[in-house]
Every structure is written in structure tokens, then in C-alpha cells.
Chain A
Amino acid sequence: MENSKTIEKKQQAESIIFKRRFRLSEFIIEKIIFLSSFLAILGVVLIFFFIFKEALPVLTSPEVKKEASLKLFFSTVIWQPVSDFPRYGLIPLIVGTFKVVIVALFFSIPLSVGAAIYTSEFAPVRLKEFIKPIVEILAGIPSVVLGFFALMVMASFFHSIFHSTMRLNAFNAGVALSFAIIPVIYSLAEDSLNSVPRSLKEASLALGANRWQTAFRVSLSVAMPGVLAGIILGLGRAVGETMIVLMASGNASMLSANIFDSVRTMSATIAAELGEVVQGSAHYNVLFFIGASLFVFTLIINSLAHLVVRRLQRKLAGKV
């Protein structure tokens, strides 16, 4: 009797110990998971902090301000950082960026939205499953390869057509850039067209509208916020994209309205000049300032796009 009791007690004690030890490891693992999920937040905060730390002297340090300040950025139209009297006019860089981005959006929006409409509304199911991976493959091409293609092949091709004075120009870079953002716009546009409730489409068809009327007047108008979000995200990507414009735009910081002139964009300026700059110099701080502006711009753009998508999802969820 006694013996069996002690065994039982022992077992009980063991099971308690076992359980405790087990809970401890569970506790530890949960804390590790919890902490590692903070790393994404930490990453954003650190990026914010360290980019702005190096950009701040442009606004605060009296020495740096003599050479480069907010006022000087916009009081000259010349970007000439390496000279006896360095001038940091940001206007040509900003205009250059927008020239390239506008060309890129001009080509990518019709192509990607058109393809998205075709995929979700008209394509047979088999073809549909073929188109999507193809666009994903386009997204998988590294931007340095697109830049290389624009530099070696497209530039000569466009030159032979348009006979522009400069072989590498905003148009060339913009077209190459559109290849990079087509998948971005396409995937969001296609997703939101696909999430339009079937009941809406069927109602439209039942009322006698034909397929293209349903596609354009019903599906597209319901999914419009998603398409817009895709375009916004594409814009953000286009502004920040570096290697393509660095290789294909000619990198001359000139101010003109002609899209066949060479341009220097904000992102390409950082990539081209950071390697040779003295750490802590005004030039160094200005490059970080440009980086900080890009960071803030894309942050706003992204938040906007995600807000729009969330609204759309809620709206559609309410309708089904």
C-alpha cells in the first residue's frame, strides 16, 4: 500500500516538475517570437533615425548651412557638388526624377491595367493561370538587368528612331522603369478586379449588359480604388528605383522640359556620388538629405496605398 502511494506521489511530483519545465520553455519561446516580431518596427525606426541623423546638419549645423541649406537647395538651379564653390540645387534632380517617372507611368499604367482587365475579365481560365506567372517572372528580373538592357539595347534602338542628341535620356530610362513597375500595378489591379463579388457581375450580365460593358462599367468601377492603389505603389517604386535610372538616364543634371535630354534623378545621385564623398562633409549630408526625402515620400505613398486597399476590402466584404 505504502509503496504504491509513494510511487503515485512521485509520479505526481514528476508530472508537476515536467509541466513546469515545459511551461518555462513555452514561455521563453513565446517571448522570443514576441521580441523578434518587434524587429520590423525596430528596423523602420532605425532607418528613420540614422538617415535623419546624417541629414539633419543641413538644417542645423551653421558650417554646413553656409554651403547647403533648405534655402540654397531651391535658390539655384545648378547641381554641382564637386567644385571650388559647390552648389546644391535640388530643382534639376527633382524635375529629372519627375520626368522619368511620368514617362514610366505613361507606359506602365495602360499596359498593366489593360492586362489586369484582360486576365480577370476576359481570359479563359487556362490562359489566366499562364499570364499571372509570366508577369511574376517580369517582376523577378533584377533591376540591374533592366538597366543593362536599357543601356546596351534600348538606348541604341530609340536613338535610331528619335535621333535625339543624347543617347541616354529620360525617355529611355522611363521606358525601362515602366518594365519594373508594370508587375507592381498589375498584381494589385488584378487582385482587386478579382475580388469584385461575382454577384455584381452576374447581376449586370442578367440585366442585359455584355461582357465588356460589365468589365468596364461594373468590375472596373468597383475595383477602381485597388487599381489606384496599385498606381500609387508603382509611383512610389518608380521614384525610389535606382539601378535602372542610374544606368539608362545619362546622369547629367540639366534642367529642361525635353524628355529626350539626359537627366539625373534623386536616387541615382545618391548612388553615383556617395562612393566618392568625404564622410561628414556638406555633400555627404546633402546626399543623406535626399535619401531622407525619398524615405518620407515613399512612406507617405505606401501608407496611402494601403489605406485605399483596406477601405476597398472592407467595402467589398460588406457587400458580399
Chain B
Amino acid sequence: MRFRINLFGSFFTGLTLFATLIIFAILFVIIGNVVLHGHKIISWEFITQAPREGMTAGGIFPAIFGTVALVILMIIAVLPVGVMTAIYLHEYAKPESVLTRTIRFAVNNLAGVPSIVFGLFGLGFFIQFIGAGMDKFFGLEVVWGQPCLLWAALTLALLNLPVVVVAAEESLRAVPKETREASLALGATKWQTIRRIILPQALPGVLTGAILSISRGAGEVAPIMFTGAAYFLPYLPHKPTDQFMELGYHVYVMATQSPDVEATKPILYGTVLVLLILTLLLNFIAIFIRSKVRRQMRQTI
């Protein structure tokens, strides 16, 4: 009887291990496949040249450039707002007040809104309401009221707000209460304490949030499809009202709308590999910093 129970138990324990191994295998197969087919084409030319001959030759420089420009604009918009929201929630707000709960409710739900809905919102609000409104106000032809880099970046910024808020708040929580109290007891004001004492200590966590949101922003396609991304442009974007090429969008269009799949396949795999390296590298860095912060936190408590 006892033996049977143990057999039964080790069977289930084995099943849970098996599930873990399958998840490892999924990750391994996906990354392995992309690396296997993609590494051959990666070269200096591939990263620094524009596509030629209907995407069957040349490189993907404009898509890399567009992605970088997009995430830079996005992070400029989302980082201050996200960090200040976290500061408000953790340092100023009363924990159970209606306002605090409403803010938390909003942040949580923003994290759950489907990315395609952000795309719809970007189109309806930024382009057709703000953009077209600005054009009308300034008496311009269509300048702001069209898909462009700025609106795509702002749409992504809203999408990533929860990522920054959650990471920043976690790092604020990691700062020991005693540090805070010591600073206040020495006569520093609340803002002085936050700026000189708390924020420097919380910096790694804030950085984690920023990196994670950059990684996520670089990989999201649905929100930028209608707010600024273009399949092919002969020039690089040089002002916020230009359209842009983007790695993820490039992958999507090449994979689904290419007239000759076999001819574009090497470039497609190369593009996926570049996108994957970019996002996973950022993720690695974020995970590394975070685990360091958490270890520190455990030591302080």
C-alpha cells in the first residue's frame, strides 16, 4: 500500500518535472531554429544596408534605425511619468484611499488591455483627434493627422506604463524604512529625501523597468501597425512626423505578404534573429539587475 502511494507520488512529481522540461524544450527549439537559419545571413552589410530588389537582397538598417528611434521616443515619454506614478503610490499616497485604489486599478487594467486595442486607440485618439485637431488649428495640410513616429511612440508609451510603474514601485519598496526615516530626522524635506536618498538606491529597479519596457516596445507590432509603421521607405525618418520601418512589423509583412517566400526567407530569418537578440539581450540585463536588487533587499531585511 505504502509502496503504491509512493509510486503514485513519484509519478506525479515526475510529471511536474516533465512539464518544466517541455517548457525548456519549447524555448530551446524556437531560439535554436531561428539561430540555425538566421546566423548565416548576419553580417556587417546586413545590419548597415537598406533592403534592395523587393526585400530579397540587402540589409535591414532602416528597420533597426526605426525601432531604435521608436523606443527612444517611447522611453522619454513613459519613464518620467511611470517613475513619478510609482513615487506617488509608494511615498505620498494613503495606501487604502479611493484615489490610490483607482490608480492601481487603472495601472492593472492598462496592463491587461489587448495590444490591438492600443492600436485602435492610437488611431482614434492620437491621429484622428489630437493630430487632425492640431492640423486644423494651425491651418496645415495633413502633417500631424497621419500615422507617424511620434504617435506610434506615444501609443507604445501608454502600453508600457504599467511595466515601468510596477518595476519602479518594487524598487522603492526595497529601500529600507530606516534610511527614509534617518534622512527625514536629519531635517531633509520629503522631496529631498526622495531625490537624494531613495531614488539613487532605487535606481537599479527603475532601470529594470526601463529596460523591460524597451524590450517589450521593440517587439510589439499590433499597436504600431496603424499608428506609424511602414513596410518600405526609401529614406530614414528624420522628424517625429515621419513614418518609419520597424523590425517586428518587417517580420510580419515579410512572412505574410511576400510574393516569393523562398526568396525572402534568409532575410526574414535574419531579421527575426536580430529582433530576438535585441529583445532577449535586454531581458537578460533586466533579469540580472533585478535578481541583484532582490538579493540586496533580502540582505537588508
Contacts and interface: CB of A to CB of B under 8 A. Distances in A.
B296 interface: no
Contact of B280 (A137, A210, A213, A301): A137
Pick from A138, A146, A275 the residue with the most CB of B within 10 Å: A138
B112 A119 contact: no
A43 B287 contact: no
A33 B92 contact: yes
A142 B165 CA distance: 21
Contacts of B123: 274
Contacts, number: 259
Contacts of B9: 210-213
Contacts of A303: 105, 109
Contact of A122 (B17, B87, B220): B17
Nearest to A35: B84
Nearest to B278: A142
Interface stretch (A2-10, A198-206, A234-242, A256-264): A234-242
Contacts of A119: 20
Contacts of A148: 251-252, 255, 268, 272
26 contacts: A22-B189, A26-B191, A34-B92, A36-B88, A40-B106, A50-B124, A112-B23, A134-B24, A140-B279, A141-B280, A142-B276, A144-B221, A144-B248, A145-B219, A149-B30, A182-B26, A212-B12, A240-B115, A242-B114, A267-B222, A270-B120, A271-B225, A298-B112, A298-B114, A301-B112, A302-B109
B88 A236 contact: no
A239 B110 CA distance: 15
Interface of B: 5-6, 9-10, 12-13, 15-20, 22-24, 26-27, 30, 33-34, 80-81, 84-85, 87-89, 92-93, 102-103, 105-121, 123-125, 128-129, 158, 161-162, 165, 189-191, 215, 218-222, 225-226, 248-249, 251-252, 255-256, 265, 268, 272, 275-276, 279-280, 282-284, 287, 291
A143 B219 contact: yes
A271 B121 contact: no
B113 A37 contact: no
A117 B189 CA distance: 47
Contact of A140 (B103, B105, B280): B280
Contacts of B189: 22-23, 26
A40 B120 contact: no
B191 A271 contact: no
Contact of B158 (A43, A54, A236): A43
A82 interface: no
Given A44-B106, A140-B280, A39 B221 contact: no
B26 to A, nearest CB: 6
Contacts of B279: 140-142
B252 A141 contact: no
Nearest to B161: A40
Contacts of A287: 120
A153 interface: yes
Contact of A36 (B27, B80, B112, B226): B80
Contact of B116 (A34, A136, A137, A240): A240
A227 B282 CA distance: 29
B114 A145 contact: no
Given A134-B24, A145-B30, A47 B13 contact: no
Interface stretch (A60-68, A73-81, A288-296, A312-320): A288-296
